[in-house]
């Protein structure tokens, strides 16, 4: 590997931008493909498939060369707005699925280390907490406080940062009211349509733990399914 | 997130740091696996010319052999494909006891 390739690879990874290193294993020739350049790449089908699955692997190119595609995708993160009962079940479950989890809730009675052992907690309002978190596309964003003062500004931040998943707790009726409020604050209809609400796959979840499973299943589908199947699952 | 050395990202940073410090460095990466291989494709081990290494390409079974080969790669600059598996006599010698087969690509950094 060339020194410049390694330096570029490390810089992209530090910036949480996904890259794929393509190596011709017959002679060691390499090139680095940034996610934003995949659409124009001759290997675009293979590259986008491996990136979506977050998996490295060997492929055979059209000319018969064997190429190793090494995928460097940023660690997926979960930001949970609301240190509520559901979040107590959600945080450990998400960690078991390899997400870096952060819980934000300005209400210190909720955001206490006793209720969330070992989970990074920020007991601040979203406008203070979120800018420090560097929320990005590889972040799943979940708002579960049921309090518009806390959830609404957080959701506006999630739109702005293009999170791959945005979910909010509440019935269809609650969500309709939320959509009106967000629209009044300048959110676009296309942004509001990105919110998964009612939150989670419909598996008949009742308890906080079951709701956590439904949420993580929906996030997994959003992360892993190809676009067409994603629409069918939604 | 606190930095931990068992993550592949830190391994690549170490490769860069070692090279900057003037070491000869090689990178070994699992490129293919069959059966129950201990580490998936993309797992890597970085080795410097002192024989110091970080990361893993198996559960510790073949790292010794990979380090030896990597020192050759650092010396001559030629990349090399290694294969370890139960069908291979030498693999038994280095002890890939997990029943899988892995191919490991070893390349020099800055080569």
Q: What is the ipTM of this complex?
A: 0.81
Residue B1 has pLDDT above 50, yes or no: no
Which tens digit of pLDDT belongs to each residue from A10-62?
999 888 899 999 999 999 999 999 999 999 999 999 999 898 888 899 999 88
Window from A216-225, B6-15, B38-47, B93-102 with minimum mean pLDDT: B93-102
Query: Any CB–CB contact under 8 A between A174 and chain B?
Result: no
Query: Any CB–CB contact under 8 A between B108 and chain A?
Result: yes
Check residue A166 and report its DSSP letter: E
- Interface A–B counts its CB contacts (< 8 A) at 57
Tokens of A64: 């018969």
Question: What are the strands of the beta sheet with A66-72, ordered from one edge?
Answer: A30-34, A19-24, A66-72, A57-60
Can you tell me whether residue A117 is helix, strand or coil?
coil
State the average pLDDT for chain A.
94
Q: What is the DSSP string of B48-109?
A: ETTS-EEE-SSSSSSHHHHHHHHHHHHHH---EEEEEETTSHHHHHHT-TTS-EEEEEEEEE
Can you tell me whether residue A88 is helix, strand or coil?
helix
Query: Any CB–CB contact under 8 A between B83 and chain A?
Result: no
What are the sequence ranges of the domains in chain A?
3-72, 77-233
Query: Taking the CA of residue A79 as centre, how many other CA atoms within 13 Å lie in the half-sphere pointing to its CB?
Result: 27
Contacts with B, A 68-107, CB within 8 Å:
68, 70-72, 75, 100
Residue A174 has pLDDT above 60, yes or no: yes
A-chain residues within 8 Å CB-CB of B34? none
Residue B86 has pLDDT above 90, yes or no: no
Q: Do residues A34 and A17 make contact, with C-beta atoms less than 8 angstroms apart?
A: yes
Residue B37 has pLDDT above 50, yes or no: yes
pTM beyond cutoff 0.80: no
C-alpha to C-alpha distance for A44 and A54, rounded to whole angstroms: 15
Tokens of A182: 């967000």
Query: Any CB–CB contact under 8 A between A190 and chain B?
Result: no
Confidence of residue B39 (pLDDT cuts 50, 70, 90): confident
Q: Do residues A36 and A24 make contact, with C-beta atoms less than 8 angstroms apart?
A: no
B-chain residues within 8 Å CB-CB of A58? 31-32, 41
Interface contact flag, B42 A100, Cβ < 8 Å: no
Which tens digit of pLDDT belongs to each residue from A120-163?
999 999 999 999 998 998 999 999 999 999 999 999 999 999 99
C-alpha to C-alpha distance for B24 and B110, rounded to whole angstroms: 8
Q: What is the pLDDT of residue B107?
A: 97
Higher pLDDT, B28 or B90: B28
Q: What is the pLDDT of residue A234?
A: 60
Which tens digit of pLDDT belongs to each residue from A181-193?
999 999 999 999 9
Whole-number CA gyration radius for chain B: 13
Residue B95 has pLDDT above 60, yes or no: no
Q: What superfamily in CATH does domain A77-233 come from?
A: NAD(P)-binding Rossmann-like Domain (3.40.50.720)
Interface contact flag, B111 A100, Cβ < 8 Å: no
Q: What is the pLDDT of residue A88?
A: 97
Residue A171 has pLDDT above 70, yes or no: yes
Can you tell me whether residue A208 is helix, strand or coil?
helix
Strands B44-48 and B53-55: antiparallel
């Amino acid at each position: 590997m060339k020194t410049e390739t390694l330096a570029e690879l490390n810089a992209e990874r530090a910036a949480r931008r996904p890259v794929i290193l393509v190596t011709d294993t017959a002679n060691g020739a390499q090139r680095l493909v940034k996610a934003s350049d995949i659409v124009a790449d001759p290997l675009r089908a293979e590259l986008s498939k491996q990136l979506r699955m977050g998996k490295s692997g060997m492929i055979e190119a059209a000319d018969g060369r064997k190429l190793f595609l090494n995928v460097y995708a940023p660690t997926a993160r979960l930001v949970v707005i609301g240190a509520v009962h559901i979040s107590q079940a959600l945080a450990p479950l998400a960690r078991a699925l390899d997400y870096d989890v952060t819980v934000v809730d300005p209400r210190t009675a909720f955001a206490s280390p006793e209720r969330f052992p070992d989970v990074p907690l920020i007991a601040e309002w979203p406008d203070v907490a979120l800018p420090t978190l560097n929320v990005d596309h590889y972040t799943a964003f979940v708002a579960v406080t049921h309090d518009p003062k806390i959830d609404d500004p957080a959701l506006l931040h999630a739109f702005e940062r293009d999170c791959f998943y945005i979910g909010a707790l509440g019935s269809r009726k609650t969500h309709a009211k939320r959509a009106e409020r967000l629209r009044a604050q300048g959110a676009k209809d296309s942004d509001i349509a990105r919110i998964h609400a009612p939150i989670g796959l419909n598996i008949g979840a009742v308890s906080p733990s079951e709701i956590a499973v439904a949420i993580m299943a929906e996030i997994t589908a959003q992360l892993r399914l190809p676009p067409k199947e994603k629409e069918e699952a939604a | 997130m606190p930095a931990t050395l068992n993550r592949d990202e830190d391994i690549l940073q170490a490769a860069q740091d070692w090279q900057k410090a003037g070491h000869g460095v090689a990178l070994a990466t699992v490129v293919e696996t069959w059966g129950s291989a201990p580490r998936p494709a993309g797992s890597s081990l970085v080795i410097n010319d002192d024989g110091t290494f970080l990361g893993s390409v198996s559960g510790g079974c073949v790292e010794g052999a990979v380090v030896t080969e990597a020192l050759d790669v650092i010396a001559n600059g030629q990349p090399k494909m290694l294969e370890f598996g139960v069908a291979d006599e030498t693999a038994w010698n280095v002890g890939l006891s997990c029943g899988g087969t892995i191919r490991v690509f070893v390349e020099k950094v800055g080569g």
